[in-house]
Structure 1
Amino acid sequence: MMALKSFVLITAIFSVVTSISHASDPSPLQDFCVAINDTMAHVLVNGKFCKNPEHVTAEDFFSSSLNMPGNTSNQVGFAVTGVNGNNFSGLNTLGISFVRFDYAPYGLDPPHINP
């Protein structure tokens, strides 16, 4: 009987402790923070300075690097063009990236890993 009481007590304590200990990253989806290299900007988010929201334009959310085909004249006939917050300032803090895949005729996607 004593063992059952101890088990119930330990289970109850464990349930309470694990229910209040909830760790997670904050949601990366906020309105926006267009990254700039201006150290006079007063808001630092995600390791980058944010452009003043009053000066943000539609051009900050446009990348011309994905509209041109990649060079597929290689051994496997495959090219990848990617954009993320480091080379497309409008994606900063949104937690997303874009990738364009280009294949030559009979091109292959070689085995790889995605870190």
Structure 2
Amino acid sequence: MLYIFLLAFLFFSTSSLSHGSVLDFCVADYMAPEGPAGYSCKKLANVTVDDFVFTGLGVPGNTSNIFKAAVTLAVDAQFPGVNGLGISMARLDLAIGGVVPLHIHSGASEVIIVEQGTILAGFISAAANTVYMKTLNKGDIMVFPQGLLHFEVNTGWNSAIIFASFSSANPGLQIVDLALFANDLPSELVVKTTFLDYLQVKKLKAVFGGTG
């Protein structure tokens, strides 16, 4: 009986200490070194309400690029208040014909909601390479599971606005086109690994600024 009591006492004592040591938040300290777990916490005395407010998602992005698209991020690198909370957001602006090409977020699942326009969105499953895609209109939402290739294409006659929410303060991003053609990987290797034509690979490397 005494043994059980001691175990119970130890449990509640450690639980109480653990609960007391939990931080309400960990606002990112951009002046401190960044580690594998993310940003260090800003000293509480230096935290202000502005750390928990981000106004950039109300501003249209610049879509004057090859993708005719712009992504405005509100992740921990831009929005210190979400650091450590497991959430973040983004705004996607797509001009007519604009596209957010195949990409992945290795650290988060994503939910999008269409604020304006009509888009075609989808993802590819890793298990069977099944494509799940759907035309979405204003107010529609779609979820992209973590780590899976997905895309958005403006199929309407007007610009499109999409808001995205992530299950991480740092979802990560890798765009397939840039991964293949915006680096110094030798073109011969790109041809071997993608089965693309050599001249097409060289052309795409020139478009995206790659070498090799």
Band of TM-score, shorter chain:
0.5 to 0.7
Measured on the aligned residues, the alpha-carbon RMSD in Å equals 2.6
Q: Normalising by structure 2, what TM-score?
A: 0.33
Question: What SS does structure 2 have at the residue aligned with 1:72?
Answer: coil
Residues in 1 aligned to 2:90 and 2:62: alpha-carbon distance in whole angstroms = 14
Q: Could you give the per-residue CA deviations for residues 46-87 of structure 1, whole angstroms, max 9, x where no partner exists? A: 5403331x6533211112332211111112211111121222
Which segments of 5 or more consecutive residues in structure 1 lack a partner in the other structure? 1-29, 40-44
Question: What SS does structure 2 have at the residue aligned with 1:95?
Answer: coil
Mapping of residues 60-75 of structure 1, within 5 Å: 60-75=51-66
Candidates 85, 97, 103, aligned match of 1:94: 85
Letter in 1 for 2:57: L
Higher strand share: 2
Which segments of 5 or more consecutive residues in structure 2 lack a partner in the other structure? 1-22, 107-212
Q: How many residue pairs end up in the alignment? A: 81
Mapping of residues 2-17 of structure 1, within 5 Å: none
Question: What SS does structure 1 have at the residue aligned with 2:99?
Answer: coil
Does the alignment pair 1:50 with 2:54?
no
Percent of residue pairs bearing the same amino acid type? 43
By how many angstroms is 1:37 displaced? Answer: 4.6
Query: Judging changes above 3 Å, is the alpha-carbon distance between structure 1 residues 59 and 75 closer, same or farther for their aligned structure 2 residues?
Result: same
Q: Which has the larger radius of gyration?
A: 1
Residues in 1 aligned to 2:96 and 2:88: alpha-carbon distance in whole angstroms = 26
